[in-house]
Amino acid sequence: MARRTPLPKIERIPYTRMAQAILAFKRRHGHWDFIGGRKATTEATGRYATILRSDNESGNVPPRLVGLLDAAGFPWDAYEYRWQRMFDAVNASFDAEKRLTWKLMTWWRRQRVLGEAGELPANRSELLRGLNYRDPIHYHWMLDFNATRVCVDDGTLLERRLVTWLVRQHTWITNADVAMHWNRTLDIDEKQADVILKLWTKAQRHGLL
C-alpha cells in the first residue's frame, strides 16, 4: 500500500497575515472555495482559514480582524458555505436549463432524500421546496425530450446523445416488458409517449437519426 505524503507544515504566522492572505485570495478569485475540500489540505490559504475558524471559536482572534473578515463576507462555517455553493450551482443549472454534472446530480439527489425525510435544517428545506424538490432524472429526461422535439420539428440532424435517447424511449414504449417500469420510474404520461412515437416516425422518415 502506497504511503500517504504528509501535509506540508506551515510555520505559525500572525493572524493579520493570515487574514491578508485570505482577503487577497477573495479579491483575486471572487470566491472562498479554498475553504474545506481537497485544496484546504495542500494550500496555505485554506490552512489559514481553518486556523482562523478554529481559533475564533476559542475567542483568540482579535475582534478587529473578525470584523474585517465579516465585512468581506468571510464564511466562518465552511460546511454551510459549501452547501450553499452546491445549491446555487444546481439552481443556476435549472434556471439555464443546463444538464447537471454527475457531482451536482449526486449531491442534489442526496439533499432531496434528506429533505423529504425531514433530516435537513428548516432553512435548507425551504430552499429545496423553492425548487419543488425537482427530480434530477426527470429533469434531464425533459431536457432531452424538448431538445429532440425541437430538432425533429426543425428538420435538424440529431446529435448522438439525442439519437440514443430517442431510440431508448421508443424501445421502452413499444416493449411491454419494460413499459410499466419505465412509466413508474419517470412518471411519463400517455400524451408524452404519443409525442415520442410521432417524433420517432418523423425522424426516421426524414433521415434525422
Return the HEC string of 117-138.
CCCCCHHHHHHHHHCCCCCHHH
d(CA 202, CA 204): 5
Same domain membership, residue 161 and residue 121: no
Sort 47 into a burial class: Cβ within 10 Å, 0-12 / 13-18 / 19+.
buried
User: Is residue 152 included in any domain, yes or no?
Assistant: yes
Number of structural domains, the chain? Answer: 3
Same domain membership, residue 143 and residue 198: yes
At 71 the pLDDT is 94
DSSP three-state, residue 158? coil
> Which residue, 52, 76, 100, sits at the end of a domain?
76
User: Is residue 199 included in any domain, yes or no?
Assistant: yes
3-state helix, strand, coil in the chain (%, to 5): 70, 0, 30
162 neighbors 151 (Cβ within 8 angstroms)? yes
Judged against a pLDDT cut of 80, whether residue 28 lies above it is answered with yes
Mean pLDDT rounded to a whole number for the chain: 82
Q: What is the mean pLDDT of residues 164-192?
A: 72
Same domain membership, residue 88 and residue 128: yes
Judged against a pLDDT cut of 60, whether residue 195 lies above it is answered with yes
The three three-digit cell numbers of residue 41, written as one number? 489540505
Judged against a pLDDT cut of 90, whether residue 76 lies above it is answered with yes
User: Is residue 8 included in any domain, yes or no?
Assistant: no
> Which residue, 32, 61, 76, sits at the end of a domain?
76
- Residue 130 vs residue 73, higher pLDDT: 73
- Residue 11 vs residue 27, higher pLDDT: 27
At 178 the pLDDT is 60
The three three-digit cell numbers of residue 52, written as one number? 482562523
- Range with lowest mean pLDDT among 22-36, 69-83, 105-119, 172-186: 172-186
Residue 75: which pLDDT band, with cuts at 50, 70 and 90? very high
Compute CA distances 181 → 173, 175, 177, 194, whole Å: 10, 11, 8, 17
Q: What is the mean pLDDT of residues 28-51?
A: 72
**Domain extent at residue 93:** 79-134
Same domain membership, residue 92 and residue 72: no
pTM: 0.67
148 neighbors 199 (Cβ within 8 angstroms)? yes
User: Is residue 10 included in any domain, yes or no?
Assistant: no
- Range with lowest mean pLDDT among 33-37, 87-91, 96-100: 33-37
Q: With pLDDT > 90 as the criterion, what percentage of the chain qualifies?
A: 15
User: Is residue 72 included in any domain, yes or no?
Assistant: yes
Same domain membership, residue 113 and residue 162: no
At 192 the pLDDT is 84
User: Is residue 3 included in any domain, yes or no?
Assistant: no
> Which residue, 134, 149, 167, sits at the end of a domain?
134
